[in-house]
């Protein structure tokens, strides 16, 4: 196991944090995922906040794979939204529908700007529940938690409602790197840019001309500044949350990392995450 420059950076957080680093050989080899190091308590439960969206999007894609939802079918009427607009499940997953961040109303034209939307993910949860007659929480359990051995339930919003420990986030991260329960085609759509090059804002990191996103994952692309590791490939994907959590995977270097902490995302996270991720990348070379 690798150590201590990572601990030196983590010690600069004046509150409990947990972190893990892993490697893999390729997305098609789940058995190749190898834990390289962990730091902090593995069992303390923290809010994942928007990292929840990775679980929600995988759940929705699982429902697509099971024929319950269609990715591209125009949805003339979204649950709870007064004004009709022909947006698709894919549009909602990739934050390109024009829906507001929190209100169930459209603030932009379809496919003109990447408007990061919590309410879009909540609508996805409502839509799947309406189409199937099964609660979205049960869908999450069936599609993600049970296959991965995670003994949790979604207890709040599909946009931010998961709480869990580092072991559980790491289990999901292995699946996010090397999928066993999603087809290669849908995994590619989830973890790669949709190619639409839409402008937009990454919360906490400002405006980007190409705010690249897949059907669930944020994509690094050419974004600077950014929360992922410096020098990572443009194909690096994942998500961070306002709880001060992150999950990233760099398919070029075949590395991934997860982070949880006791306090919400703020200036200290923006200051320390780049250095932490740089040191994690260096540490992997000697593992």
Evaluate if residue 2 carries a pLDDT over 80. no
CA 231 to chain centre: 20
Per-residue model confidence (pLDDT) at position 209: 97
The string of pLDDT tens digits covering residues 162-198 is: 999 999 999 999 999 999 999 999 999 999 999 999 9
- In degrees and rounded to multiples of 5, residue 207 shows phi and psi of -85, 140
Beta strands in 163-224, from DSSP E residues, in sequence order: 163-164, 200-202, 206-208, 218-219
Q: What digits encode the pLDDT tens for the residues 10-69?
A: 999 999 999 999 999 999 999 999 999 999 999 999 999 999 999 999 999 999 999 999
Own/partner pairs for 264-269, CB < 8 Å, 24+ apart?
265/204, 265/240, 265/241, 268/12, 268/13, 269/227, 269/244
CA distance linking residue 99 with residue 92, whole number of Å: 8
Topology of domain 5-284, CATH: Beta-lactamase (3.40.710)
Burial class (CB in 10 A: 0-12, 13-18, 19+), 2: middle
Which pLDDT score is estimated for 9?
Answer: 96
Tens of pLDDT, residues 70-104: 999 999 889 999 888 999 999 999 999 999 999 99
**82-86, 107-111, 207-211, 276-280, range with the lowest pLDDT:** 82-86
Domain residue spans in the chain?
5-284
pTM exceeds 0.75: yes
Which three-class secondary structure state does DSSP give residue 201?
A: strand
Per-residue pLDDT at 1 exceeds 70: no
CA–CA separation, 46 and 160 (whole Å): 12
- Mean pLDDT value of segment 236-264: 97
């Amino acid at each position: 196991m690798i150590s201590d420059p990572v601990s030196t950076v983590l010690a600069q957080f004046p509150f409990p944090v947990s972190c893990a680093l892993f490697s893999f050989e390729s997305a098609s080899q789940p058995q190749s995922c190898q834990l390289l190091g962990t730091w902090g308590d593995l069992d303390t439960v923290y809010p994942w906040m928007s990292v929840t969206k990775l679980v929600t999007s995988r759940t929705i894609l699982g429902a697509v794979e099971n024929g319950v939802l269609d990715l591209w079918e125009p949805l003339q009427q979204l649950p709870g939204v007064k004004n009709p607009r022909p947006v698709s499940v894919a549009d909602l997953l990739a934050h390109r529908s024009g829906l507001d961040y929190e209100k169930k109303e459209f603030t932009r034209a379809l496919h003109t700007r990447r408007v990061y939307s919590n309410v879009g993910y909540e609508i996805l949860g409502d839509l799947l529940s309406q189409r199937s007659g099964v609660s979205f929480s049960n869908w999450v359990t069936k599609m993600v938690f049970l296959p991965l051995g995670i003994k949790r339930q979604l207890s709040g919003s599909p946009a931010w409602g998961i709480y869990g420990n580092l072991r559980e986030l790491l289990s999901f991260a292995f699946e996010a790197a090397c999928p066993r329960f999603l087809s290669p085609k849908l995994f590619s759509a989830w973890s790669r840019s949709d190619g639409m090059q839409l402008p937009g804002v990454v919360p906490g990191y400002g405006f980007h001309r190409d705010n690249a996103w897949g059907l669930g994952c944020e994509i690094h692309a050419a974004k600077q500044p950014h929360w992922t590791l410096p020098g990572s490939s443009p194909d690096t994907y994942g998500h961070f949350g306002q709880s001060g959590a992150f999950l990233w995977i760099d398919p070029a270097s075949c590395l991934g990392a997860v982070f949880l902490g006791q306090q919400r995302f703020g200036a200290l996270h923006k200051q320390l995450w780049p250095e932490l991720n740089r040191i994690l990348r260096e540490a992997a070379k000697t593992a």
